[in-house]
Amino acid sequence: MIEFLEVKENKEEYMPLLLIADEQEDMVKKYLYRGRVFLLIDDGVKSICVVTDEGKGELEIKNIASYPSSQKKGYGKKLIEFIEKKFKGEFNKIIVGTGRGTNTVNFYKKCGFIESFIVKDFFIDNYDHEIIENGVKLIDMQYLEKTI
């Protein structure tokens, strides 16, 4: 049976899973402590998601990851559905930023997100090394959004 659990203490315990989505630890720490952390559990932890209150009724997904052996099994989508239900009424919209031109954009589109705006050179300006995802060098951040 699938369960969802909020992590309120010792959030760093999940750093290895968080680093799958965001490989620079100091960048993860920028949002981990002010964020709310949720796990999807199905006979063990399968996925994690960190969301932050960005004001103006916007909830931002800062990190979402499923363990490699648990990807493409529907867990990521279920975790987003859980977040939507939990925060509906409290927030108007969920926003998320990811590498422009990556496959992850398609994951969010499958979850009902639409493209909103681009932050030029985000990965060049904010990370201390090149980030390569499936052979694509990340440069710009593509934001997507979903009204809830």
Tokens of 103: 């496959």
Least distance (Å) from ligand COA to the CB of residue 17? 9
> Nearer Cβ to ligand COA, position 89 or 135?
135
Which CB, 52 or 104, lies closer to ligand COA?
Answer: 104
Output the smallest distance, CB 121 to ligand COA, in A.
17
User: Which tokens go with 142?
Assistant: 């593509």
Backbone angles phi, psi at 139, to 5 degrees: -125, -65
Residue appearing with tokens 């559990």:
41
Smallest separation (angstroms) from ligand COA to the CB of 104: 5
Between 138 and 148, whose beta carbon lies closer to ligand COA? 138
Given the complex with ligand COA, which of 14 and 75 has the nearer CB atom?
75
Task: Report the C-alpha gap between 141 and 118 in whole angstroms.
Answer: 6
Residues that bind ligand COA (CB under 6 A): 20-21, 47, 64-66, 71-77, 98, 103-104, 106-107, 110
Q: Are 46 and 67 in contact (CB under 8 A)?
A: yes
Separation of alpha carbons 48 and 137, rounded Å: 24
